[in-house]
Homo-oligomer: A and B are copies of this chain.
Amino acid sequence: MGLEERRKRERENRKNAILKAARKLFFEKGFKPVTVESIARKAELSKGSIYLYYNSKEEIYTQILLSDIDKFHDRISDLLQNPSSASEALMRLANIYVDFFLNDRELFRILMTFMLHTSDMNLPEDLNDHIVKTTNKTIGIIEQVLKYGVERGEFPATLNLRQNRNAVWGMLNGIISLHLFTGIEDRRAEVIHGTIKAGLDIFIRGLEISETKETGHGIL
């Protein structure tokens, strides 16, 4: 209701408008090709105004990635609330993960590079921390789901959690890479989801076979 409050609110709105405009452009073209001028135009502002709200082009970019990561984090956080089965929970997690990157291919590119060589990425520190934290969180959840599967007798009791957790994680990233880096244009979301489902099915069947053969130490 106040006056100070109104100005604060309007400042926040303007920051969001910039973020929204930038997000769309970055998603379409990646970081480099997007000019600050183009962000300004899309947000119906002048270039100078952009710098009243953010210190650099990179800061805008970072903010977008951070908020995307947070959104993902929120979505997977309540994944284990009431799963009917471990394989269903895995499937849900995989779908969330795929949707996430369909929505921000650039972030996936960064994440993949990050996984390969952490040290020389030169990312802003907070973004770096966020990625590490969320990656660990995601891997942790996969492990929890596997553990849950073991507990309810869905997966063999001898399952090596760490190994299979890594297997799932690797497979997810592998399949998504395959699709996203070989042309997003002609890959409809359903296709990617379908491949992921197929991959997970194979993985889960592998676990069940292992159990019958009593060699259930994982597929890695």
Contacts and interface: CB of A to CB of B under 8 A. Distances in A.
A5 to B, nearest CB: 7
Nearest to A45: B3
Contacts of A46: 3
A1 interface: yes
Interface string A104-139: 000000000000000000000000000000000000
Contact of A44 (B6, B41, B45): B6
A33 interface: no
A59 B204 CA distance: 74
Interface residues of A, number: 9
A18 to B, nearest CB: 13
Contacts of A153: none
Count the copies: 2
Interface in A3-25: 3, 5-6
A91 B2 CA distance: 45
Contacts of A5: 44
Contact of A3 (B1, B2, B3, B44): B44
Nearest to A17: B6
A47 to B, nearest CB: 11
Contacts of A44: 1-3, 5-6
Contacts of A2: 44
A16 to B, nearest CB: 15
Contacts of A6: 44-45
A41 B41 CA distance: 33
9 contacts: A1-B44, A2-B44, A3-B41, A3-B44, A3-B45, A3-B46, A5-B44, A6-B44, A6-B45
